[in-house]
């Protein structure tokens, strides 16, 4: 494996045309340019935020190809190739590698609540199908399985290209547990609480916020690496307020429709979500009001990041 992944990677939305009929390639290219301008080290497409379950196989191939060609090596492109079927996960992985991606983020097979041995065999099949790095994705909320540090260590020992994990178990202590269980071989990316995860040994952050604050989400991790812990804490606190607003009374709305609505608010329209997800338009006045509150915080956050950047240049 030649690539080394570090920093804040956005799990990006999939831009759709009106009524969600197809992937909007023009909007995608503008959106990717925005990520590049923000200095993002990479994007992860076709994750949960990217509505991978609603994208057809043909759309998947075109989306991956368009992204890789447009980015042209200027930042990393990882792709979610998880599937409830091991055969499909292997096929998606092989196809994406042939299209030139840099790596994969792969959750365990969902719905079935597989055993550790079943998860191990799934990752073995995928690992043997590619020479590229694999980022495991531990997200018990969506997959209904929580991969223990012991299982992660087993996978790390068995497969040379399994060297990354997005740890989103909601247990920040798991970052330390995974690093200890793997003798420091596994590179942990935070799925939440990036500041605390960094202090426990995480090397990066995988987040949906780059969809509307790419500069701030990139800076958050860079600030940690630079030793500017208080700056990172301030950014994290402001980001956390987004979640509280979105979840107030309606936790099932999720980040997808808000991520798209907020990207549009920043000048990068990417369409709405596909069914069965709740579309932002269906939220009516309530959604508009929540978006306005979040946009006000985005303005505050962008101003803070700009102020800090100016201070660094002046100092």
So which residues are the catalytic ones? 137, 166
- The string of DSSP letters for 195-260 reads HHHHHTT--EEEESGGGT-HHHHHHHHHHHHTT-HHHHHHHHHHHHHHHHHHHSS-GGGHHHHHHH
CA-nearest of 96, 157, 170 to 126 is 96
Residue 161 to residue 130: CA distance in whole angstroms: 8
Count of Cβ atoms closer than 10 Å to residue 219 Cβ: 25
Task: Tell me the C-alpha distance between 25 and 270, whole Å.
Answer: 10
Q: Residue 40 corresponds to which tokens in the numbers above?
A: 């993002």
Q: Residue-wise over 127-144: b if at least 16 C-beta within 10 A, else e?
A: bebbebbbbbbbbeeebe
> d(Cα 138, Cα 19) in Å, to the nearest integer?
32
Please report which helix (H) or strand (E) contains residue 284, including its range: helix 284-314
Query: CA Rg, the chain, in Å?
Result: 19
């Amino acid at each position: 494996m030649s690539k080394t992944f570090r920093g804040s990677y956005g799990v990006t939305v999939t831009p759709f045309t009106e009524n969600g009929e197809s992937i909007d390639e023009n909007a995608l290219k503008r959106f990717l340019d925005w990520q590049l301008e923000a200095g993002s080290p990479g994007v992860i497409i076709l994750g949960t935020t990217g509505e991978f379950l609603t994208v057809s196989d043909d759309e998947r191939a075109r989306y991956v190809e368009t992204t890789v060609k447009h980015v042209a090596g200027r930042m990393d492109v990882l792709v979610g190739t998880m599937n409830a079927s091991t055969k499909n996960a292997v096929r998606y992985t092989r196809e994406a590698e042939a299209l030139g991606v840099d790596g994969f983020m792969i959750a365990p097979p969902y719905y079935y609540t597989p055993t550790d041995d079943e998860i191990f065999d799934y990752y073995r099949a995928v690992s043997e199908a590619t020479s590229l790095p694999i980022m495991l994705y531990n997200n018990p909320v969506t997959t209904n399985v929580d991969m223990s540090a012991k299982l992660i260590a087993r996978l790390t020992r068995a497969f040379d290209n399994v060297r990354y994990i997005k740890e989103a178990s909601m247990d920040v202590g798991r970052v330390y547990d995974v690093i200890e269980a793997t003798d420091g071989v596994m590179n942990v990316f935070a799925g939440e609480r990036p500041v605390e995860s960094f202090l426990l040994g995480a090397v990066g952050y995988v987040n949906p916020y780059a969809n509307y604050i790419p500069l701030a989400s990139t800076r958050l991790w860079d600030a940690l690496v630079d030793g500017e812990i208080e700056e990172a804490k301030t950014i994290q606190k402001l980001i956390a307020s987004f979640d509280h607003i979105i979840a107030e009374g309606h936790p099932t709305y999720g980040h997808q429709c808000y991520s798209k609505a907020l990207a549009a608010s920043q000048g990068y329209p990417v369409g709405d979500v596909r069914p069965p997800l709740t579309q932002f338009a269906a939220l009516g006045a309530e959604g508009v009001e929540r978006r306005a509150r979040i946009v006000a915080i985005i303005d505050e956050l962008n101003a803070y990041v700009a102020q800090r950047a100016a201070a660094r240049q002046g100092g």
